[in-house]
Amino acid sequence: MPADLPYSDPFESYGEQMTVADVAEALNLTDKAVTAQARDGRIPGAVKLGSGPKARWRFNRTMLSHWYRKQMEESIQRFQEHQKASE
């Protein structure tokens, strides 16, 4: 990740396969919020293993990192455009 970006990758300290708890910790969300967003397809790299109450979600760290970077870059761009429009 380029040093000039004002954020760091919250996933870099995790292994390649992450659990719901890992993703929740990295994004400062609850496990329930991560599970709901994975189920709705709003978090990429999510794979549901099994079915029913024993089902478990796993997340691909590389995909999450790319997704997070894109989200942050788009947010920064919108902020900069808003700043320019207010001048």
pLDDT in tens, 54-78: 999 999 999 999 999 998 889 888 8
Residue 48 CB: number of other CB atoms within 10 A? 12
pLDDT in tens, 22-58: 999 999 999 999 999 999 999 998 999 999 989 999 9
pLDDT for 5 equals 58
Residues with Cβ within 8 Å of 34's Cβ and at least 6 positions away in sequence, in order, are 20, 23, 24, 27, 43, 57
CB 61 within 8 A of CB 20: no
User: What predicted TM-score, i.e. pTM, was given to this entire model?
Assistant: 0.79
Rounded-to-integer distance, Cα 69 and Cα 43, Å:
13
